[in-house]
Copies of this chain bind each other. A is one copy, B any other.
Amino acid sequence: MQAVKIGLMGLGTVGGGTATVLIRNCEEIARRVGRKLEVVHAAARDIADQTILDGSKVKLSEDAASVVNDPDVDIVVELIGGYSPAKELVLQAIENGKHVVTANKALIAMHGTEIFKAAEAKGVIVAYEAAVAGGIPIIKAIREGLAGNKIEWLAGIINGTGNFILTEMRDKGRDFDDVLKEAQALGYAEADPTFDVEGIDAAHKLTILASLSFGIPLQFDKTFTEGISKITREDVNFAEELGYRIKHLGIARKTDKGIEMRVHPTLIPEKRLIANVDGVMNAVLVKADAVGSTLYYGAGAGAEPTASAVVADLVDVARAMDSDVNDRVAMLGFQPASLQDTAVVSADDFETSYYVRMLADDRPGVLADVTRIFADNDISIEAVIQKEPDEGQTRACLIMMTSLIVEKNMSKALSKIEALDSIEGDVVKIRLEHLS
């Protein structure tokens, strides 16, 4: 069979990794697919900077549009990242009748609906396994491996930088700011770490996972996002003491009220496998009605792990490109006509357990006042720990864990508790999930 001709846009970390893997594993891939995957054209901002394709017959351009417009190219791989010009280039590739593989989560989460619609109109495929959890084949697992299931919920560690920071805080008792600086020095976190530590990157990925799991349109704007920058060493330690770990999770859940999509720091029982996913590694735990819980673990970023997902997509597209469009895996997992506009639950109506910590006067009656307010708001307390005041202090640290509650009740209760004279400052609250 004829080789499949690939055009690469971007030869940075992931683009370079993709070229490397395609060249190094060329024979192995052809043994699997029955045909070769051949890079015929590649674009980089400065082609003098790249050395990977030196000596090859690959055409090199500094203008990405020339890849998109190259009549020789069957599949365009977009590894530029960001919204623009990635979006315009992808749409032009589709317009030119080319299939697209991309690792761009921001692009899919924000503009996926428009891009998939254009691709459907042209009968081409847009594949994006590398956009979520790097090398873990999680999109394939949900879209195909669990196709017989109703998915109930999923919870994922889908940002390696955030997980690295939380792991270091726990293992070495370090502070957030200190670890963040190291993560930046190591190249894990960008100079502007907002996307990672404030959960925006994770929210992009969660938006995609929620659509794949529940057959709903992509709705990044409705994904609730809370970062980890306010997590303190103190809370990490208390959590540990109580048998929990704090992880920055993306959670999507189908409830009677609709779909919850949320990214936030979360206490999870240390016995759960996902609680032991440390460092820059990613993992996604999926609960589905037939199979129960399955977990997928691996590297969520990096040149070759991400390339692994890009190449898997190229193999899939190579197989499906000549097939009837009705026989292809739907781009969003569900047939476009079968997407349902299920309500997205607002944060007020989330149902979750809570860990709360407050500084309280160390005298009789304070605990009774606090627990009374919780009870008045339908909040059951599962555990209370009181830490004696430090030497010379008069305020004790009060830690409570609640059972499953509706979030607006928590907000009401906390504003009343914070108004008590016996409570100092804000109450720290972190959501808690049992993941069982």
Contact = CB atoms under 8 A, between A and B. Distances in A.
Contact of A140 (B140, B304, B333): B140
A327 B335 contact: no
B291 A31 contact: no
A304 B327 contact: no
A186 interface: no
A25 B149 contact: yes
Contacts of A56: none
A326 B1 CA distance: 9
A21 to B, nearest CB: 5
A92 to B, nearest CB: 26
B311 A147 contact: yes
A137 interface: yes
A313 to B, nearest CB: 9
Contacts of A32: 143, 147, 215, 330, 333-335, 338
A360 interface: no
A315 B148 contact: yes
Contacts of A290: 17, 21, 25, 135, 304-305, 307-308, 311
Contacts of A277: 273
Nearest to A321: B327
A338 B310 CA distance: 23
Contacts of A137: 140-141, 144-146, 294
Interface string A360-379: 00000000000000000000
Contact of A292 (B35, B143, B298): B298
Given A32-B333, A135-B292, A324 B326 contact: no
Interface residues of A, number: 70
A335 B149 contact: no
Given A25-B289, A31-B334, A145 B140 contact: yes
Contacts of A326: 1, 34-35
Contacts of A310: 148
Interface in A1-22: 1, 17, 21-22
B291 A298 contact: yes
Contacts of A215: 28, 31-32
A338 B322 CA distance: 23
A355 to B, nearest CB: 23
A400 interface: no
Interface in A299-341: 299, 302, 304-305, 307-312, 314-316, 319-320, 322-324, 326-330, 333-335, 338
Nearest to A34: B335
A327 B322 contact: yes
Contacts of A154: none
Contacts of A288: 308
A136 interface: yes
B312 A145 contact: yes
A295 interface: yes
A61 interface: no
Contacts of A181: none
Q: Find the residue from A148, A294, A307 having the highest chain B CB count within 10 A.
A: A148
A297 B145 CA distance: 13
Nearest to A31: B338
A148 B298 contact: no
Given A32-B334, A33-B335, A294-B297, 5 more contacts: A28-B149, A35-B326, A135-B294, A292-B298, A320-B327
30 contacts: A32-B330, A32-B334, A34-B330, A129-B145, A135-B290, A135-B291, A135-B292, A140-B140, A141-B145, A144-B312, A145-B312, A146-B308, A146-B312, A148-B307, A148-B308, A148-B314, A273-B297, A276-B276, A289-B304, A291-B305, A291-B308, A291-B309, A292-B304, A294-B296, A294-B297, A295-B295, A295-B298, A320-B327, A322-B324, A323-B323
